[in-house]
Amino acid sequence: MGFRTALTELTGCKVPLMCGGMHYVGYAELVAAVANAGAFGVITALTQPNPEALRAEIRKCRSLTDQPFGVNITLLPVGVKPDYDGIARVIIEEGIKVVETAGRNPEAHVAKFKEAGIKVIHKCTAIRHAMSAIKSGVDMISIDGFECGGHPGEDDVTNWVLLPKAVKSLGVPVIVSGACANGQQLAAALAMGAAGMNMGTRWIATEECTVLDGVKQALVKASERDTMLVMRSVGNTERVFKNAASKKVGQVEKEHPGDFEKIRPYVAGLEYKKTFYETGDMESSVWSCGQSIGLIDSAPSCKELVDTIMSDCASCLSNFQAAKL
């Protein structure tokens, strides 16, 4: 069951659902399962240690699916600069057809992708950022609301306002991103003019995701109140799972606002990689997740998840069409 939209046409996937790039989550196993379920998944480039490791991951994914998938490149505002040129070269050489960019303006990379015939979906959190990306030539916008896991920007605008404004004002296809998890939301997004829905956190709680089962069960048990914002005082706000480690970051920020060095030991990415794949300790590290955890009540296969979302979406749209207005 599916709907033909700009997202399915651009990516070649069967349903208007996407699995956006997630650090230490977007590996071949999950991306292939998402693709085999009919949705569009992307390998997270920066999760790989170098461009050649990314090449190996792309080839591994191709061994697991014959369906289309893409690669995510997150353009970081701080830290050691990744080898973006090497990543782009591998993407082009491996024949990837769609790239998801996120973070800073992708202008420096869009031209080389367009020259290679690659479509670009840019994920951003503000209309003004979307407009800048569109000027650089991106083909589609994934608009990311304040409810999202990871970095929601600094404007605090939720999808209820952000999505309809983006659809009305941007002039390119738009998909909704941020705290997305079920068919009711997909139906609402389509009704508001979106071309599809980009999920992140929801895909973690699936059978094929390679994180430890304890992480998946933490998402199943959590409520919509179990996230919090950190790094707001340093202008790099991140929505994360509410636990002992993230509460400690919040406390340190209150005591030393704007001093990143004070919180650096608590927000290092390698710590939550250990949580995901070694310890399963939900309290020991700061890790991203969206308010969609309040809608997660099981950890099905990707195929079961997609089928349920599409069935629920169809039911909602049927009810909508049958309503007497």
> How many Cβ atoms are within 10 Å of 192's Cβ, its own excluded?
16
Q: Do 17 and 10 meet the contact criterion of CB atoms below 8 Å apart?
A: no
Of 123, 125, 137, 113, the C-alpha closest to 237 is: 125
- Residue 197, helix vs strand vs coil: strand
Can you tell me which residue has the tokens 């407009």? 131
Left if phi > 0, otherwise alpha if psi is -120 to 50, otherwise beta: which for 207? alpha
Collect all residues with Cβ–Cβ distance below 8 Å to 297 and sequence separation of at least 6: 220
pLDDT under 50: residue ranges of the chain: none
CA distances from 174 to 117, 124, 128, 198 (A): 20, 11, 14, 10
225, with CB counted inside 10 A (0-12, 13-18, 19+), is: exposed
- The tokens for 160 are 């209820």
d(CA 188, CA 174): 14
Directed axis angle between helix 28-36 and helix 51-64, to 10°?
Answer: 40
CA distances from 64 to 33, 70, 74, 174, 213 (A): 8, 14, 24, 29, 22
- The tokens for 222 are 């959590």
Q: What are the pLDDT digits (tens) for 104-119?
A: 889 989 999 999 999 9
What homologous superfamily does CATH list for 6-210+301-322? Aldolase class I (3.20.20.70)
Q: Do 17 and 40 meet the contact criterion of CB atoms below 8 Å apart?
A: yes
Q: Where are the domains of the chain?
A: 6-210+301-322, 213-292
- Residue 204, helix vs strand vs coil: helix
- The tokens for 317 are 């749209």
β-bridge pairing 140-144 and 174-177: parallel
Greatest extent of the chain over all pairs of C-alpha atoms, in Å: 58
Rounded to a whole number of angstroms, the distance between the first and last alpha carbons of the chain is 27
Q: What share of the chain is helix, strand, coil (3-state, %, to 5)?
A: 45, 15, 40
Q: What are the pLDDT digits (tens) for 277-313?
A: 999 999 999 999 999 999 999 999 999 999 999 999 9
- The tokens for 56 are 């190996």
Q: Do 250 and 230 meet the contact criterion of CB atoms below 8 Å apart?
A: yes
Alpha helices in 100-243, H assignment, sequence order = 107-115, 127-135, 159-169, 183-191, 201-204, 213-221
